Structure formats: structure tokens, C-alpha cells
A and B are shown apart, each in its own frame.
Chain A
Amino acid sequence: MTWMAPRTVAEAVQLKAEWPDATLVAGGTFVGILARQGLLASEDWISLQYVRELRELSTSSELALGAMVTHRRIELDPEISMGWPGVQQVFAAVASPRVRNAATIGGVLGDADYASDPPAMLVALDAWVEALSVRGLRRIPVADLILGHYQTSLEEDELITRVLVPRGRHHVTYRKLRTRSREDRPSVVAAASFHEGRVSVVVGAVAERPQFFPDLCATWKPGDSTSTREIAAGYADRIDPVSDNRGSAAYRTRMIAVEVRRALDSLAPAALTSQAAGR
């Protein structure tokens, strides 16, 4: 059993290439759960706990979040609140403060759990990740990163180093439908952003990966209830939801229509104002 603790990202990816079976440990929560259940085959660990670069946060142009930045830090950062309200809202919505203290942005994207909050919003905000390996750096839009439940397009030896979110997405809404305890994970998530005349609505927690239909979104006429309902019905029609303890597929189909409609309705005032202003 080896515990490796590199100090730089370069060192980390080098170690990952040399120890292909070793488990990468970031915030540790998901890995901790798997280890506890005896589901991790490897007894070798590569811990990122001392890699300072991964905890860096920059708001100077786009929002650049190191992969190890915790949900809690994102929730509480005043510049993120002001410049990227959608990011602040979605990370604040996850579980409890204690869970948010340990969960990281790189972790939640790398885990790709279908019932997570952040992915849908990050897709709606056109966010992308940087993934590093010994072969170099790749830019992957979040929409292309998450392939399914616990499945990403990352290579075995790749490590998420940063998550980047473009500026200027101020008109956002995040809707989280819970069907049980107020501490529960979501049954349906609807994240929406209105930017430069376009709306992006992404539905999460209902299927293996976040669901985004730009062609439907492009038909939106803000304030027109028929247009809004058609888009909502379109989403409900195209998505094949899962059944789980938080709702049956049939219920989710109905709720997708409701939540998409409500998300669009909440963005309508801002969209209409910006249309009127000719933007």
C-alpha cells in the first residue's frame, strides 16, 4: 500500500501514468465511500492534497476554478456570487455545508453521478474543463465530458485540473425539485441561462447525463406561453427518464415539462428586457 502525495500537477499526471491502477484522491468523498464499501481494487493512492495549483481560483476573466476547489468555497465567494450567480446557486444547493466542505468541483464532474446538481448548470453556462495527462492538456466542454452515470470521456490517466465558466451569465435560474426530505438529492433539476439573446435549458438528475436540446431552446419566444409550453413538452417528450427512489419515470416525464416551463417563465422578464433593449 503506497500513499503518494505529489506537489504539482505535472508530478501528479506523471505518477498516474506510471501507476495506472492507483486511485486518484482529491477531496476524497466519493473515493472514501467506495473504499469503505470495499469497491476499490487498488491499494495504491495518489493524493492531490498538496497540489496547490488545484486549489486556485481566478475571476479576472472567465471564472477559473482549480479542480480541488470545494463546493463550500464556491458557495461563499463574493466575486463568484456577483459574476457567476448560477455557479454560486448550484453549488450552494448541494447537500449540507458539511458535505460541501469536502466535495470538490473536479470531484463532482469526475464522478459523473447522474443525481448531482452542478453538471446541468455548468452545461447551461457553457462551462468546460481542462484535463491533463502526460500527453498534454485537453479542453472538454462539460456537455461532452459526462457520458453517463459514473462515466466520463476522460482517459484513464487524465486528471481534471480546472473548470472554466465564461463571464457574463447573469440571467440564470436553478430549479431543484425534491420529492422527499428537504435534504434529499434532486428528482429533477432544471438549470437555465439567458445570454446574448439565447436561452439554454438543461435538465439534470433524470437520466444518465444532463439533457440539453439547443434546437428546442432556439425556438423560444420569451413571454409567449405557447412557445414556452412547446419547448417544455419537447423536453418531456425527448427525454427517457430513470425510475428511482425519488420518482418514477412517468412522474419525471410530467415534471420535466413543469420545471422547464417554470425555468423559462422565470427568465422571461430578463429576456424581454434585454430584447427591448435591442440586445
Chain B
Amino acid sequence: MNATPALKRRSFFKLGIGSAIVLALAGGTMALMKPGLVDGKLSQPARLVMTRVAQAMLAGTLPADPAAQRQALDAVLQRTDAFFVGLPTHVLAELDQLLGLLASAPGRRFLVGLSTSWEEATAAETTAALKGMLESGTELRIQACQGLHDLVMVPYFSGKESWTVLGYPGPTAV
């Protein structure tokens, strides 16, 4: 498979990160990276990443009640796995690498700018970090944030629960 733009060494150097971390990640030690996808579905670490990202990106849209929110998030993650089935292999390869990178502590720190673990990150912390990616001026970070945005929004709006939030009545029967 082709190296994705996300993993070009040149891009890492542009971020001004300590070379030890850069080499550890970009030097092919995939051992540091957890898998992003397993059997074409979100790995457990990737599920945690996407849960936190969805909580931030859908803040104010997901139900506030914790139990209802958990249910809504599970539905989004389920639809994310279903969404993967239709994606071309080159996109899946990129997502596998991106999610694996984000799930690892060094990747989370320098790509997202989040020092707290995903487990402990609050919606506010994650939101600030994601906004920072868009404002970073770094192509790699903006691409990554926009990729995450698609991965949250397409599965969320593919579900009929979103129609109630939107006020969409559904298609006209013919």
C-alpha cells in the first residue's frame, strides 16, 4: 500500500516535534501504534478515540442524559462500522493508519494536541484540541481533523435519529 500523506516523514518534521518521537513513529515501529481497524471495523482503542471525538463534535446535538448519550454514541459507532463496508481499500488503509496514530499517546499529543488520555479527556478539552487542529495552519492536522469530522457526521446523519434533531420528515412515498 502507498504511504499516506499522514505519514510522510517530511510532514512530521514540519510540525517541529522532537526527533525522537518523529523517528519512533515514522521510522516504521508500528509496535508503538495500536491498530486503527480490525477486520474492517473500529478497533477498541479507535472506538474510544471516536467516542471522544463524537462527543466533542456533536456537543449540543447528542442527548445530554448520559445513558441516552451512550446509546446514541453506540449507534453512531455501529453505523461507522457499516460505513466502512462501502469504502475503497485505499481509504480504509488511510483510516487504519490515522486512527492507529491517534489512539497512541505520542500521536494523540502531537497530532491532536491533547495531553490528557482519551479515557480521561473531557468534551471541552477534546473540542479545544480539535479546534486547535483546524487553526494550526498545518496541512496534516487540518486533513486529520476534517477526516474525523466526516467519520462522525456521515454515520451520525445516516441514522434516522438525526432526522428528529433536524426536523427532516423523511422521503415522500411514491
Q: Do these two chains really belong together in a complex?
A: no
